[in-house]
Amino acid sequence: MVEIDVPLVRGLIAEQFPEWAGLDVRPVAIGGWCNRTFHLGDSMLVRLPSAERYVAQVEKEHRYLPALGPRLPLPIPVPLGLGKPGEGYPWPWSVYAWIAGDRSSLRTIADLTVFAEDVADFLLALWKIDASDGPPAGAHNFFRGGALEVYDAETRRSIDILSGEIDVPLITEIWERALASTWKNRPVWVHGDVAEGNLLVRGGRLSAVIDFGSSGTGDPACDLVIAWTLFDEPAARAFRNRVELDAETWERARGWCLWKALITVAGEPGTNPLVKEQHRRWIDRIVADRLSRT
């Protein structure tokens, strides 16, 4: 990953957007893993990919977010400027309008079931948007919306690494059930990373959805993992009822969540070692949910 700090951002702004050169630059409290994020004055932010594998997301967001935003019930990022490599930084980067709100968490959400229904309503609106011109799943979004088979070898390697810590036959069975079906309907727009850090809250309610770097078109199963990562059982039930997707899609959703949890706990390259314990809890939730449905 590239070292990204305040002096670098100030230099890039001064060089490429001199009209904003006098504005204060300061890091966002939780700046993200795939990108580094900085306040630019009080009404904008600067977002820079932290590694080459995230670079394709920049121009994608600039192309598609202005078209998606007016069709959605809540605010999403609005691109204001597309930066170029410079100051020793090798990739394109972005300036966006700042969206006020707190990171979603059990502390900031007033009613988790209502929040789950709000997330479902946002996703239903996203999935209804014409996706015929959208980017299909691929390396640009780590195959969100695509086939889980892409991650089969990686997942099985992680299962082997964790064989002393997990129920290997059960975890393997969950994974293979996820692989056994495909999305047979038309491709839909997917956000690709419906997670706590990308859902903003104001007044206890969902107020905005950010970070569309993993967006694309295809199978909506990847957008359902929050049922295990944040929601409790009543909220997850409300979420399931609201989106009204078939059982096989939920099997694939469980697979998406399991893949991410396994590779993170196993320490696969590119994963964040600071969230291993959180991902262990995801595995426990997935297993408990699967056993409850047998």
Give residues with Cβ within 8 angstroms of 115, minimum separation 6.
104, 109, 201, 205, 206, 235
- What average pLDDT does the chain have? 96
* pLDDT reading at 1 higher than 70: no
- Give the pLDDT confidence of 85-141 residue by residue, as tens digits: 999 999 999 999 999 999 999 999 999 999 999 999 999 999 999 999 999 999 999
Token readout for 227 is: 């049922």
* pLDDT reading at 239 higher than 70: yes
Parse the chain into domains and list their residue ranges.
6-97, 102-288
Give residues with Cβ within 8 angstroms of 225, minimum separation 6.
194, 195, 253, 256, 257, 260
- Give the pLDDT confidence of 208-228 residue by residue, as tens digits: 999 999 999 999 999 999 999
Closest CA to 150 of 10, 256, 23: 256
Estimate to the nearest angstrom the gap between the alpha carbon of 226 and the chain centroid: 10
| Alpha carbon distance, N-terminus to C-terminus of the chain | 43
- pLDDT recorded at residue 2: 78
* pLDDT reading at 31 higher than 90: no
- Give the pLDDT confidence of 68-83 residue by residue, as tens digits: 999 999 999 999 999 9
d(CA 237, CA 112): 11
Model-level pTM? 0.94
- pLDDT recorded at residue 34: 87
- pLDDT recorded at residue 268: 86
Q: Does the structural domain 6-97 have CATH classification 3.20.20.70? A: no
Closest CA to 69 of 114, 126, 26, 25: 126
Closest CA to 212 of 78, 82, 83, 118: 78
Instruction: Provide φ and ψ at 155, rounded to 5°.
Output: -65, -45
* pLDDT reading at 294 higher than 80: no
d(CA 41, CA 243): 38
Question: Where do the H-state alpha helices sit in 186-275?
Answer: 226-229, 233-243, 247-266
Give residues with Cβ within 8 angstroms of 140, minimum separation 6.
56, 57, 60, 216
In CATH, what number does 102-288 get?
3.90.1200.10
- pLDDT recorded at residue 57: 96
